Amino acid sequence: MNLRERMQPDAAVDWLRVREDFPILRRSIHGKPLVYLDSANTAQKPRQVIEAVDRFYREHNANVSRAVHQLGEEATALYEGARDKLAAFLGASHRDEIVLTSGTTMATNLVAYSYALPRLKAGDAIVVTTMEHHANIVPWQLVCGRAGAHLKVAPITESGELVVEKFVELLTPEVKLAGVVHVSNVLGTVNPVKRLARECRKRGIPLLVDGSQAAPHLALDVKSIGCDFYVITGHKMCGPTGTGALWARRELLETMPPFFGGGEMIREVKFSGTTFADPPHKFEAGTPNTAGFAGLAAAVDYLQGIGMANIAARERELLDCATRRLNDVPGLRIIGHAPDKAAVISFLIDGVHAHDLATLLDQEGVAVRSGHHCAHPLMQFYGVAATCRVSLAFWNTEAEIDALVEAISRARELLA
């Protein structure tokens, strides 16, 4: 199926039946049915993923690429199978462009230390935006600090959109790399990554796109985006924690030295020197989270089975419904109004601290996140210490949005 087809919602999905795939959604919290509205933090897991991890340990457990016995071959096939599935999911040209990592943070650090640091010199710069997660700020600060380079920050508007012209203005000759979040974990803003990639490419500046919040919700195609690095994290896309991937153009991976040394990433080791395996294996030192990747492969199958276009369309409905309902709550202010927005709603209520609200909502069984969402600079931009954040997934229902709004009303009465 090509990207155009993958982006078209098709058959009517039975969302209530889909919901039954998630055992945890049957739980009660403080005597109330769980209403899980914290998917941007971590997604819940369908039984297909749980069973894949369980099956790995029951039937296939062995170390990868080290044993010639049957179990070793099965474990290796599952691990390498995850690479194939992620390559197809992201639209990579080749499976060798996928480095399996413990998540986005690890993938971005790999690019920071292995790609950026050797190229940075004093006076150089890396461009990011005001709406980045700390995982797309701190690794660059660390390598800039070592090289005497600095960060340049592209501004956003009050409504939470990137000012693209300003981003482009920052792409001057001393810039060695740009890093942009595809979908903001706080604002829900979907950034125009294709356009940003085109501008970077014109100037020969590699672009890393942080796809942590995009991969669970949108049909992706790294080739059509035109970026150079794309990083994802498994636990936000219904997969296990401790899994994720870096996609990078093969020619870039070939220029990058290994980041970690150890077993599995070598061709030959002598005390006089070591030669390394080809990418991607030279970046995958040590025993990986094989069971996790068996689970992530199942998660990719699961999401694709529903269809990313169907997921995006359903989440759009839920976002519209939740936005309408929350806008009716007196004193509630939503932060982030980009027209192209994923199902993430950050908000504040006059006179109510975000943590107090989240604590009271939890008493009603409603799980939302409160805090800075690992985006201090964005909080500083809006002049707030914390927000409450509702993040929806395809398994949520309109009834849960009602439950959220009722729980907020009760909490407001208690906190007023």
In 3D space, the residue among 128, 160, 165, 161 whose CA is nearest the CA of residue 143 turns out to be: 128
CB atoms within 10 A of CB 175: 19
* Interface characters, 185-214, with ligand PLP (x: CB under 6 A): x------------------------x-xx-
Listed in sequence order, the residues at least 6 apart from 369 whose beta carbon sits closer than 8 Å to its beta carbon are 38, 40, 41, 358, 388, 389, 391
State yes or no: residue 104 binds ligand PLP (CB under 6 A).
yes
**Does an H or E element contain 268, and which?**
strand 266-270
Does position 289 bind ligand PLP by CB under 6 A? no
Stretch that binds ligand PLP, among 100-108, 189-197, 221-229, 319-327 (CB under 6 A): 100-108
Q: Tokens 């990433």 label which residue?
A: 265
Is 388 a known active-site residue?
A: no
State the Cα–Cα distance between residues 247 and 85, nearest whole angstrom.
12
Q: Rounded to a whole number, what is the largest CA-CA distance in the chain?
A: 72
Q: How far is the CB of 180 from ligand PLP (least distance, A)?
A: 10
Please report how close the Cβ of residue 346 comes to ligand PLP at its closest, in angstroms: 12
In degrees and rounded to multiples of 5, residue 126 shows phi and psi of: -125, 135
Out of 35, 111, 135, 299, the only residue in the binding site for ligand PLP (CB under 6 A) is 135
Q: Is residue 133 involved in binding ligand PLP (CB under 6 A)?
A: yes
| Spatial CA neighbour of 347 closest among 389, 318, 410 | 389
Please identify, among the stretches 56-64, 71-79, 131-139, 148-156, the one whose residues bind ligand PLP according to the rule CB under 6 A: 131-139
Binder of ligand PLP out of 181, 338, 367, 401 (CB under 6 A): 181
Which 298-337 positions form the footprint of ligand PLP (CB under 6 A)? none
Residues binding ligand PLP: number (CB under 6 A): 14
Minimum distance from CB of 258 to ligand PLP (Å)?
20
Nearest distance from C-beta of residue 231 to ligand PLP, angstroms = 8
Contact letters for ligand PLP, residues 142-161 (x by CB under 6 A): --------------------
Contact 346, 42 (CB under 8 A): no
**Cβ distance to ligand PLP smaller for residue 100 or 135:** 135
CB of 21 to ligand PLP, least distance (A): 22
Residues in CB range of 171: below 8 A, 6 or more apart: 127, 178, 199, 200, 203, 205
| Complex with ligand PLP: residue 210 or 364, whichever CB lies closer | 210
> Of residues 22, 87, 98, 105, which one binds ligand PLP by CB under 6 A?
105
Catalytic one of 200, 227, 374, 388: 374
39, 76, 233, 289: which one contacts ligand PLP (CB under 6 A)? 233
Given a contact cutoff of 8 angstroms between Cβ atoms, the answer to whether 98 and 90 are in contact is yes
Q: Which stretch binds ligand PLP (CB under 6 A): 72-80, 130-138, 263-271, 381-389?
A: 130-138
Stretch that binds ligand PLP, among 25-33, 47-55, 129-137, 138-146 (CB under 6 A): 129-137
103 binds ligand PLP (CB under 6 A): yes
Q: Which two tokens stand for residue 247?
A: 């996609």
Q: Is the dihedral of CA 139, 142, 146, 147 positive or negative?
A: positive
SS3 178: strand
Nearest distance from C-beta of residue 212 to ligand PLP, angstroms: 4
Which range of residues in 26-34, 128-136, 217-225, 338-346 is near ligand PLP by CB under 6 A? 128-136
Distance (Å, rounded) from C-alpha 380 to C-alpha 361? Answer: 25
**What SS3 state is found at 40?**
coil
Nearest distance from residue 20's CB to ligand PLP, in Å?
Answer: 27
DSSP code per residue over 127-173? EEETT--GGGTHHHHHHHHHHT-EEEEE-B-TTS-B-HHHHHHT--T
In the bound state with ligand PLP, the residue whose beta carbon lies nearer, of 314 and 369, is 369
For residue 332, the number of C-alpha atoms closer than 13 Å in the C-beta half-sphere is: 22
Q: Which residues are tagged catalytic?
A: 374
Binding site for ligand PLP (CB under 6 A): 103-105, 133, 135-136, 181, 185, 210, 212-213, 233, 235, 374
